[in-house]
Amino acid sequence: MRTASITRRTAETDITVFLNIDGTGKIETDSGNGFFDHMLTLLARHSRFDLKISCKGDTHVDFHHSAEDIGIALGTALKEALGDKRGITRYAHTVLPMDEALILTAVDISARSHLSCSLCLPSARIGDFDTELCREFLNAFVSNAGITLHVNQLAGFNTHHIIECTFKSLARSLRFACAKDSAAPDDIPSTKGIL
């Protein structure tokens, strides 16, 4: 089974993450922010990853440290669960609509961390969630998972829809990139022989 359990404790956050790549989309999350819990639920459901995420953060300051550190822990868990990446598909992309929003995500599980993100978020807040934290989470996740991620907003003007569409599209891209390649189940998908 491709699973990982991560514990991350700092002066700002106390986080535990369990990830099962080969799951069914089960989710238990207590991030400390209702909107972000909603996004993590979408990520689990549409990737079919089983996720358990608990975060006790310094939310009396704001949600920045929690969002970033959850990204760090989840990215670390994905990297650990993938192991040597033998037999994975490696690449995937998804163009996903949600009402007026249309988001393209493209993933390369490459061991090279890069985020290119072109989201245009009209609202600074959704409830008590600072929308700029969407990019902070993605950057922390990508940096610690060792993946390349492109996020292109093709359409959209409702900030909730744009961010929700991003998490759903990312989930689908991760689902297909992490999937086993039945044509090459024992191969490392790289001419280098290592990822």
Q: Report if residue 195 sits inside a domain.
A: no
Q: How many domains does the chain have?
A: 1
CB 159 within 8 A of CB 66: no
Tens digits of pLDDT across the chain (195 residues): 899 999 999 999 999 999 999 999 999 999 999 999 999 999 999 999 999 999 999 999 999 999 999 999 999 999 999 999 999 999 999 999 999 999 999 999 999 999 999 999 999 999 999 999 999 999 999 999 999 999 999 999 999 999 999 999 999 999 999 999 999 999 999 999 999
Q: Report if residue 192 sits inside a domain.
A: no
Segments forming the whole domain that contains residue 104: 3-178
Q: Report if residue 193 sits inside a domain.
A: no
Q: What is the CATH number of the domain that holds 139?
A: 3.30.230.40
157-167 b/e with 16+ CB inside 10 Å = b?
ebbbbbbbbbb
Q: Report if residue 184 sits inside a domain.
A: no
Say how far apart CA 169 and CA 132 lie, in whole Å: 18
Q: Report if residue 186 sits inside a domain.
A: no
The pTM of the full predicted model, rounded to 2 decimals, is: 0.98
Give me the pLDDT at residue 189, please: 95
